[in-house]
With several copies, the nearest count.
Chain A
Amino acid sequence: MILTLNGEQRDDLAAATVADLLEELGLGTRPVAVMVNGEVVRRAEQAGHRLSDGDSVEVISLIGGG
């Protein structure tokens, strides 16, 4: 399965769901938000949201800003 993850094409990921993906990426404890194809996938839906070939996934967290 090929995903666009934070702007890069990735074919090395095993995750089937959004929740799997976050775990696979090692982002467990950190506050993150996820968008799939431009829509936010809320926390409660992440385990149930299956990823499909060609999905565009954005994993968002905090950085410095003013």
Chain B
Amino acid sequence: MSTQAPETPSLFPHSSADFGDAPLLVGKHTFHSRLIVGTGKYPDFPTMRQAHIASGADCVTVALRRVDLKNPENNILNHIDLGRMTLLPNTAGCYTVEEAVQVGVMVQEMELGDLIKVEVIGDQKTLMPDPIGTVEATRKLTAMGFTCMSYCSDDIVLCKRLEEAGAAAVMPLGSPIGSGRGVLNPTNIRLIKDAASVPIIVDAGVGCASDCASAMELGVDGLLVNTAIASAKDPVKMAHAIRMATVAGRLSFQAGRMDKRLYASASTPLKDF
């Protein structure tokens, strides 16, 4: 079924910026791509590196965990193009505000920059974020000097509260993390975007290229995609697909789609002979 992609296919377009679109601004950061990628779940680092290139992304999430002392040289940073990529460390796995703040302290110690993806989990089974903890963690991490990108449910008022707490970007989930089911409630995402003064980035849930195009057509500012790329059968090819679908969705939003109709409307004029 699958045909082999050539070794180094051209990366045009990297992003909608190649079509004159404004870049994605998060706090003081400027990203040319509206797609942020992750570093989890890849079969191996070389595949990850190729997929990162294919994605066109210039921002990438990483997580903090114990060093593997048996393989101290096994350093993920050796496999990320730090010339192009800005790091976005996350607080994944934290269940309390205190844990998230502690991760923040460590991020500062490690001099990883000022960006942080704020994630406070509230339920072990569904891994859904805790609305109240996330607001509080966002407030504290912002006070510590971080540019917070806060991961949350698609609760419309919650997204507003995160913005008020200092989030530089709000990142509602489309569907449960790793579920790959796309944006389950497009109405909410649209209403969240309507009300927002900071960028809205859909984080979690997209599973394939069309999910990315659909999400961008809702008017959101960007996407964060990890599992859909890393767990595809061919992650590099999927990264190309998702890069282009993100651009396509953005242009489609900007181009202004045709009106929907219940009934038909001929694309060819009536027959006259």
Contact = CB atoms under 8 A, between A and B. Distances in A.
Interface string B242-273: 00000000000000000000000011110011
B267 A66 contact: yes
Nearest to B76: A62
Interface residues of B, number: 42
A59 to B, nearest CB: 5
Interface string A22-36: 000111001111110
A63 B269 CA distance: 9
Interface string B66-98: 110100110111000000000001101000000
Interface stretch (B10-18, B107-115, B130-138): B107-115
B267 A62 contact: no
A43 B156 CA distance: 39
A36 to B, nearest CB: 12
A34 B109 CA distance: 9
A31 B273 contact: no
Contact of B64 (A5, A6, A61, A66): A61
> Max chain A CB contacts within 10 Å: which of B39, B109, B224?
B109
B66 A31 contact: no
Interface of B: 38-42, 48, 61-67, 69, 72-73, 75-77, 89-90, 92, 102, 105-107, 109-112, 177, 204, 224, 226-227, 230, 266-269, 272-273
